[in-house]
Amino acid sequence: MNAGGRDADARRDADARSRGSLLAELDLLAEENRRLRAADERDRRTTFRRTALGAGVLGVLAAAGGVLLPESATVLFALAGVGLFTALLTYYLVPEQVLSAPVGERVYAAYAHTGAGLVGDLGLHDAAVFLPVAGDDTDRPGVAPIRLFVPQRADYELPSPVEAAATFVVADDGRRRGVSVVPTGAALLAAFEATDESLSRLPLADYVGRVADALVDGFELVDYAGAELDSSAGRVTVGVRRSALGAVDRFDHPVGSFVAAALARRLDAPVRLETRPADGGRVDYYVTCRWAVEDGTDQGSGPDVESG
């Protein structure tokens, strides 16, 4: 064999060894990726299941209280239902867990029915205010420190963060009384914040865009979400289409709950949530969140979202 032939064989052998080495490295990287994804998924599932367990324990304790305290049975049984269905909803919304839409909708529908019954039985006002509460994220691992406050009176005033940390807000001033529960959006918000530590430092417009994206790509709660921010009016409106969990205008629906909880957390201020069906067009519902602006004036309803 001549020198040229030997050189060609040597190059082929070197190329073969190089390809074999690259393939081996790719296999190692792929295996490490699979291991890291599995570990991350286990960690997130553990956090959410602990949250679900806490809500479930609250539900069981409230049910036991209803048996032991007949005079408060109506309220305690209603609270037990909220706690148990919150536990189920949190458990089934663990990220990366495949859940059929009909199952999720049925679980949420039961929770929404219980929540609406609680509001009706206690004669609460039809308002939903999301409040940052006292404490920090270590109080309830996997749940952001946000509460959904449903006031007792139409001329309500907001309770203090400490008062809102209790389920039944019994303040000296009747205008601050009502019910304060952990919203479905609090657990979703904790998962959302865990994806990127820089979220709280984003400009508000960018943050709102990321929240809308999470509804579609992160949690797959809707097929489309388009947001419009009006900072001077203290308003964000999100138009959504094809909710995976049915009608969005029900009690503490995860779509509106997540948006309102995220804004309350980002602004560190109370946020009022209003949800209404769209009058035709390319979206099904409008989720509107409002907060107080510096001049304290009522900014009105404002324009609708233009969806593309």
pLDDT at 117: 86
Q: What is the pLDDT of residue 144?
A: 83
Which amino acid, one-letter code, is at 145?
A: P
In the chain, where are the structural domains located?
Answer: 185-290
Structure confidence at residue 306 (pLDDT): 38
User: Residue 126: its pLDDT value, please?
Assistant: 85
Asked if residue 218 has pLDDT above 90, the reply is no
pLDDT tens digits for range 133-181: 865 444 565 688 899 999 988 889 998 888 888 888 888 888 888 999 8
Instruction: Give yes or no for residue 85 having a pLDDT over 70.
Output: no
Question: Between these two residues, 45 and 165, which has the higher pLDDT value?
Answer: 165
The answer to whether 80 and 60 are in contact (CB under 8 A) is yes
User: Which residue did the predictor score with more confidence, 30 or 261?
Assistant: 261
Mean pLDDT to the nearest integer, 194-217:
91
pLDDT of res. 232? 92
pLDDT of 138: 41
> Per-residue pLDDT for 290 more than 80?
yes
Write out pLDDT tens, residues 264-273.
999 999 999 9
* 94 has a pLDDT exceeding 80: no
Question: Band of the pLDDT at 276, cuts 50, 70, 90?
Answer: very high
